Amino acid sequence: MSKFNDKYRIESTRIKKYDYSQDGYYYLTICSKDRKFIFSKIVNEIVILNTLGKIVEDELKKSCEIRKEIFLEEYVIMPNHIHLIIRIQKNEEGKTTRRSSLQLIEQNNMFEINKKSVSSFVMGFKQAVTQNYRAKIDDPNYGVWQPRFFEHIIRSEKSLYNIRNYILNNPLNWNVDEYNTQL
């Protein structure tokens, strides 16, 4: 932890010079505020979405439709978090071809949010869900999300396969899930 304005803050877990807008697969976990069970419930190992969970699902799909370079590969909406795999792929006109090497960016060694990056996707998605739900419940202060999210750059087919299976099996393993705070 470091100090900013005499307050402790958690350092970013992002790779400082990695371009999170480059083509590739990314595994994300986004948690609800205070890890409250607000999106769904698990009944007989099946996810049952509530109103907020349905908004999350709708906005997730809309976010990928709006951002033509982002593809939703897999996801699950658990009671207090979501797991997803997104793929960023652009064509020659700003929409790219796949690259296998890391592309480093250096802007005074500071983290910047690129308009077509993982961070901008998550920020826009979280904002859309929050605004939509606040309007529905008529509470302009309701907090849906934790401030941060977990991300992992998927670098191999084997890793993609394993993470996809983890996501698909998450409801089956809810009774031993690290995010299940009711254990």
**pLDDT of 113:** 47
Overall number of domains in the chain: 1
% residues pLDDT > 70 (the chain): 76
Top pLDDT among 177 and 35 is at 35
Query: What CA–CA distances, in Å, run from 53 to 15, 36, 71?
Result: 30, 13, 20
pLDDT band with cut points at 50, 70 and 90 for residue 102:
very low
Segment 74-84 shows an average pLDDT of 97
Please give the average per-residue pLDDT across 77-98, as a whole number. 78
Tell whether 1 is covered by a domain: no
In sequence order, what are the residues at sequence separation of 6 or more whose Cβ sits closer than 8 angstroms to the Cβ of residue 4? none
The answer, yes or no, to whether residue 182 has pLDDT greater than 90, is no
Full residue range of the structural domain in which residue 148 is found: 12-173
CATH, residue 147: 3.30.70.1290
Determine, yes or no, domain membership for 159.
yes
Query: Residue 26: pLDDT above 80?
Result: yes
Best CA proximity match to 182, nearest among 44, 36, 32: 36
DSSP structural state of residue 16? T
Q: What is the DSSP string of 36-64?
A: ---SEEEETTEEEE-HHHHHHHHHHHHHH
CA distances from 17 to 103, 108, 141 (A): 8, 10, 35
Q: Which residues pair with 2 in a beta bridge?
A: 9
Strand partners, 87: 25, 71
Highest mean pLDDT among 64-68, 105-109, 163-167, 173-177: 163-167
Question: Is residue 4 a part of any domain in this protein?
Answer: no
Amino acid at 61: K
